[in-house]
Each structure stands twice: as structure tokens, then as C-alpha cells.
Amino acid sequence: MRIEWLLALRFLREGRAQTFFMLGGVTMGVGVIVFLTSLITGLQRSIIEKTLGTQAHVVMRPPDDEARRIIKADRSLAVSANVERRAQRLSSILQWQQIMRDLEKRPEVTAVSPLVAGPSFAIRGSATKSVALMGIDPERYTRIVPMPSFMKEGEFRVTANDTAIGIDLARELGVTLGDKIRLQTADGRSETVTVAGIFDVGIRDLNRRWVFITLRSAQNLLDLVGGVSSLDVTVRDLFTAEIISEQLAGQTGLTAESWMKTNAQLMVGLKSQSASSYLIQFFVIISVAFGIASVLVVSVIQKTREVGILRAMGCSRRRIQRIFLLQGGVVGLTGSLLGSGLGALLVTFFAKTAINPDGTPVFPVVLELNMFLIAAGVATITCILAAAAPAARAARLDPVVAIRNA
Amino acid sequence: MTETKAIIQLTDVHKQYGSDGITTKVLHGIDLTLQQGEFTALIGPSGSGKSTLLNIIGLLEQPTSGIIEVQGSKTGLLSEDELTAVRGRSLGFVFQFHHLIPAFSALENVMMPLMLAQGRPTSAQRLRAEELLTRVGLADRLDFKPGKLSGGQQQRVAIARALALNPPLILADEPTGNLDTAAADEIFKLLREVNQDSGTTFLIVTHDPRLAGRCSRVVELVDGRIVT
Ligand SMILES: Nc1ncnc2c1ncn2[C@@H]1O[C@H](COP(=O)(O)OP(=O)(O)OP(=O)(O)O)[C@@H](O)[C@H]1O
Ligand SMILES: [Mg+2]
């Protein structure tokens, strides 16, 4: 062991109470940071998971060509932002099969699913409800939204004759498995299907409106033969969705909207939550640093004599400085380990106590190695930085002063 | 008197404390040469500047003016780090208040100059320290912390430590200052032995005329001037 280490460790061991308080400070600090981080990460992740349970990461739609044409048509005219969309009539994505195949080839894309969506009525006897037709290719669609896992009754079987509807719509129409419902659009096209499955996606509005039918049925009903109204895409890394959506929009000429844009409000909420958590962590780190620095300053003063003796025996100033920096580092590292343990313990305890009536935790907390490593790294560096001023002071000590004063 | 054998040579060394305002002149033109193997006592009344002189010779303090040569080379232009290196190489200290490091055992305290010189502890250093502690009669106290040793024992550890690197010059500031006569005699005998066995040069500050009388040379300091 190098002499700097030997001296640093021995000084720490000798200063029992001081070392204890420094370690305590770092442990608490790291504990709080670990606890806070894992709680907020877990919370945010579960919110995002819930949100994305029924959404694609990127939705691609036909370009808004009406608007473009008007702007092109008359450039001399001051273009008001008030370009009205053409009412109702659905437009299709041109050559969507080709685009879909191209998208699938991209490494960052994990699944693509075509969708023909449009308004309709669901009729059963005298009950009529306004619904959203979801024309899908079931195999592709379930790779994006795991419908089979949401099924309450029956199965997610979508064929020319079979449909899946939400639990609220089923109640409002008074249908159960095996019952028939008629789907009718505004221009009079209609089709009759049998309820093969009833789902609950956890969002009442969707449970009330979604009616799944095949792509072909939807194309017929919505007068969009051979076309699709959108392509749903999932990507490998959730948080790259926005960047990827911009790239896809640029390359395909379609409009693309990422889940982050769709849920902008949510993103703002999550971001400010993270920001306030960072602010708290920042101040925790600062106060730990001040604590370490003030204890070490005292310890340097108490070690004046030892420093003087060492200097008289040929110990360089740089070495003296390193001895005190090391003390900061050792306290930081040890405190980080203890603090990680403390944080993990708190989090586990919290997860065990805060549970829903059905026994699942309220917040699925996240404990990741990465977080511990970052917390430990930050704490150790903070402690070394905090030790810098006391260490410099120790290095500047005049050996004579130390030796004269017994 | 051959110049080549001088361990230390001081020429017209002055020291004053305080820059402007109140200044205290402590040393007035000291000329002093210590030859290799000399066993010199430095005596004088309290406040006459003995410790100051010793610290200046030990390169712990800078003189206000004058020249200090250690083994023939001038130290005036050396940086703090270079002075530290010379201290480690050429000088051993026994301080007035023994000054051991309380967190380390007797053995480790003696090893300290060796560890500092070599950067890390080794078993050879341990053997050397054991040998030195045995020589000062503390073979059975190797692992005692300074706090568990008597004043005389601590002083002997400090002497063993000063000897560790076998420096050509040992500076001792009242090494027997707070010891009774018997213990003081024993320490003094030990220093004399080392001087005779290894040819180490000693400069020893003492108030005890009896001990000074047993030195080969006596330098007396009065009011910052050498009178004998
Ligand atoms: N840092 C300082 N600032 C001002 N004056 C000092 C300082 N250090 C020492 N002195 C003065 O220098 C003079 C000599 O001090 P020094 O310690 O060398 O005396 P000494 O001969 O060793 O005395 P003693 O026998 O009591 O140890 C004293 O008058 C002391 O007050
Ligand atoms: Mg003195």
C-alpha cells in the first residue's frame, strides 16, 4: 500500500467521531439520492408504460396536401394560418405497402401496423352508439398494442365475421359474447359482426369507442378501398421516437407524430418532475460537500503537528495534499456504498408498504446498477472536491509552526 | 580544518521575525561550521535563539540573510520541494517535544522516514526499524502506540526514527528536556554511541551543563550571537 493511503486511512481511523459524521453525511446524501431517483424513475416509467400500452410510438398519416396546395397556388396572397381542413373524407397513404416494407427494414423500427380508422355507429336493437372503427391486421396490430392481454371475455379474434369491443361499449349496447352488432357509417354502408371478445384497456373512452374489425371490412365501410389511414410504428428506444418520427416524416413525405408529441402535456409534467428532483439532489450534494469540507478543515488543524513532523522528515507538500484528498475520496466511496445500501433498503421498504388493494405496488420502483454507479461516482468526486480546500491548506502548513507549538 | 568534511557551514546568518512594524532580531551574524563526526552541544539562556538556529540549519526555516551550505552545496536558491528532499536525505530530527505520530505504533513511527523515502512500507524497513528499536532498548515495545509509552521511551523512539535513514547530521532540540537525570543520562549515552559507531554528526541543544560537558564541542549562544 502506498504511504499516502496508509496515512490517509490511519488518520481517518484515528478521527473516529469526525470520520463517523462525514460517513454519516455521505451515506444519508447518497441514500436520499438513490431513493428519490429510483422512486421517480419507477413512477415515470409506469406512467409511460400505461400511456403507451394503447399507443404506437410513432403514427404516420397522409400528408396534409390540401393545405400545401393552397399555399402553393397563390404565393402573392398573404397566407393566413387559417387553412381549413377538408371535412370528413378520409385520405389514404399512397403506396402504403411499399412504405411499410421500407419502414420494417430499418433497424430502429420494431413493428409496423396499418390502420384504417374512422367514425361509425354500432347498432344493437334500439341502441345506437357512436364508435371508432379500428380496421387492423390483427397479427401486426398486436405487436404494437398487446390486445390479447387486455381481454376480459372471449379472445381477440378479428375476422370478417368476428369483432372485439370494449367492456363499456358492451355494457351500453347490452351485448355479450356471441351477440351480433351492426356497424353503420354515415353514408349508409353497413356490416354485421359477432362479438368474439370484450376487452378492458384501462381507459374508459377507448373501452367505449374502439371496435376492431379487419382491414378489408374497414376499407369497405369507410370507402377507402385498398388504402389505410395511418401506419403505427414502434421503435426500439422509446425516447428516440421524436427524432425518428422527424426522420421518417422527412424521408416518406408523410406526417409523423411521436408519442411524445401526442402526449406533450404528460411530457412537460414528467420533465418538471425530473427537474425538481434534480434540484433537490443538487442541494443534497452541496450540503454534503459543505459538511465534508468543514469537518476536514477541523481535522487538518488538529493534524498540524503530524503534518509538520512529516514535512520535516521529507514528505513533500504534494504528498500531504494527496493524503487529505484521499481521505475525502475514501469517505465518499465508503459513504456511497453504505448510502446505496440505505437507499435500496428504503426503496424496497417503501415498495412493500405502499401497495394497491390488489397487492401490486403503487410505484414499481426501479433499482438499476447504473443509478448506483452514477450516485457513487458523483458522491466520491464531490467529496474529493470538498477535500480540495482543506488539503491545500494542509499542504501550505508551515512545518516550523507545527513543530514549535507542542 | 578541511572544507570538504564540513557537514554544515553557516556564514553570517541573520534572522529577524516580523517584516514591518514590530520586528524581533533573533540571530545576529552567525558563523558556524560542523565537521563530520562532531558531537556538539548548543547551549544558552532561554530565548537566546537556539531553536531558531536549529530550525534554520534543519532547513525548516529561512534565514533573513546569510548563507547555509549542506555538505558543500548552498541551499539559498532551492525551492521548497528541493529543501524538503534535502531534509529527507541528509537530516534527522529529534524535537524538543518528541513529536511522534500518535496514530502509528513505535515500529511504524521509526519506519516513517523510510516509507516516505521509498513510497511504501516494505519488510526490509520493518527489519531495520526493529533493529533500531532494539538498539534503543525498546525491543519489547514495538507495537505500542506513543500514548502507551513513557516520556523517555517516546524520546528513544524519536531517536530511532532520526537514525532510520542513517543521515549524516542529526539535530536534537533538548532531547532530554523533560526527562529525569537517569533517563537523560541513558539517552545521552545512546546518542554518543551512535556518534561513535556510525560517525553521525550531532548538534544537540541542551540546558544541562553536566551533559554539555560530555560533548566534544560546546557552542554557546547569547542574545543571538555565538560567544564561544
Ligand atoms: N515566529 C516567531 N515570531 C516572533 N518571534 C519569534 C518567533 N519564533 C521565535 N521567536 C522569538 O525568537 C527568540 C528565540 O526563540 P528560540 O525558540 O529560538 O529560543 P530558544 O533559545 O530555543 O529558547 P528555549 O531555550 O526557551 O527553547 C525568542 O525571543 C522568541 O520569542
Ligand atoms: Mg528552544
Q: How many CB atoms lie within 10 A of CB A325?
A: 24
C-alpha cell of residue A78: 398573404
Q: Choose among B15, B97, B98: nearest CA to B57.
A: B15
Buried b (16+ CB within 10 A) or exposed e, B11-38: eebebeeeeeeeeeebbeebebebbbbb
CB of A330 closer than 8 Å to CB of A9:
yes
Integer Cα distance of A239 and A102 in angstroms? 22
* A–B CB contacts, 8 A cutoff, strictly below: 76
Residue B124, pLDDT above cutoff 70: yes
Q: What is the pLDDT of residues A64-114, one digit of tens each?
A: 754 444 444 444 444 444 444 444 567 888 899 999 999 999 999 999 999
Task: State the DSSP H helix or E strand holding residue A67, giving kind and residue range, or none if neither.
Answer: helix A65-73
Query: Which CB contacts under 8 angstroms, 24+ apart, belong to A236-243?
Result: A236/A107, A236/A108, A236/A109, A236/A110, A237/A108, A238/A48, A238/A52, A238/A57, A240/A108, A241/A57, A241/A58
Integer Cα distance of A31 and A35 in angstroms? 6
B17 reaches A (C-beta below 8 A): no
CB of B176 closer than 8 Å to CB of B206:
yes
Average the pLDDT over B47-53 and give the result.
92
Task: Give A365's contacts (C-beta < 8 A, 6+ positions apart).
Answer: A38, A39, A41, A42, A347, A348, A350, A351
pLDDT number for residue A405: 67
Question: Where exactly are the structural domains of chain B?
Answer: 6-226
Tell me the average pLDDT of chain A.
89
Least confident of A146-160, A193-207, A343-357, B75-89: A343-357
C-alpha cell of residue A325: 484528498
Shortest alpha-carbon distance between residue B85 and chain A (Å): 6
Cα of A334 to ligand 2 centre, how many Å? Answer: 44
C-alpha cell of residue A99: 412504405
What chain B residue is nearest to A397 in terms of C-alpha separation? Answer: B60
- B16, B51, B62, best to mutate for ligand 1 pocket (most atoms within 8 Å of CB): B51
C-alpha cell of residue A377: 461516482
Nearest CA to ligand 1 atom 16: B49
Is pTM beyond 0.90? Reply is no
Indicate the pLDDT class of residue A406, thresholds 50, 70 and 90.
low
Q: Choose among B205, B105, B212, B87: nearest CA to B154.
A: B105
Residue B96 with chain A: CB contacts under 8 Å: 406
Q: How many CB atoms lie within 10 A of CB A350?
A: 17
Domain B6-226 sits in CATH 3.40.50.300:
yes
CB of A163 closer than 8 Å to CB of A196:
yes
pLDDT number for residue A88: 52
Nearest CA to ligand 1 atom 25: B46
Cα of B28 to ligand 1 centre, how many Å? Answer: 14
CB of B227 closer than 8 Å to CB of B195:
no
| C-beta B19 within 6 A of ligand 1 | no
**Rounded to an integer, what is the distance from CA A13 to the centroid of its chain?**
43
Residue A280, pLDDT above cutoff 50: yes
Residue B172, pLDDT above cutoff 90: yes
Residue A190 backbone phi and psi in degrees, to 5: -150, 160
| C-beta B24 within 6 A of ligand 1 | yes
Q: Choose among B140, B40, B42, B54: nearest CA to B93.
A: B54
Integer Cα distance of A91 and A118 in angstroms? 11
What chain B residue is nearest to A14 in terms of C-alpha separation? Answer: B103
Shortest alpha-carbon distance between residue A377 and chain B (Å): 27
B81 reaches A (C-beta below 8 A): yes
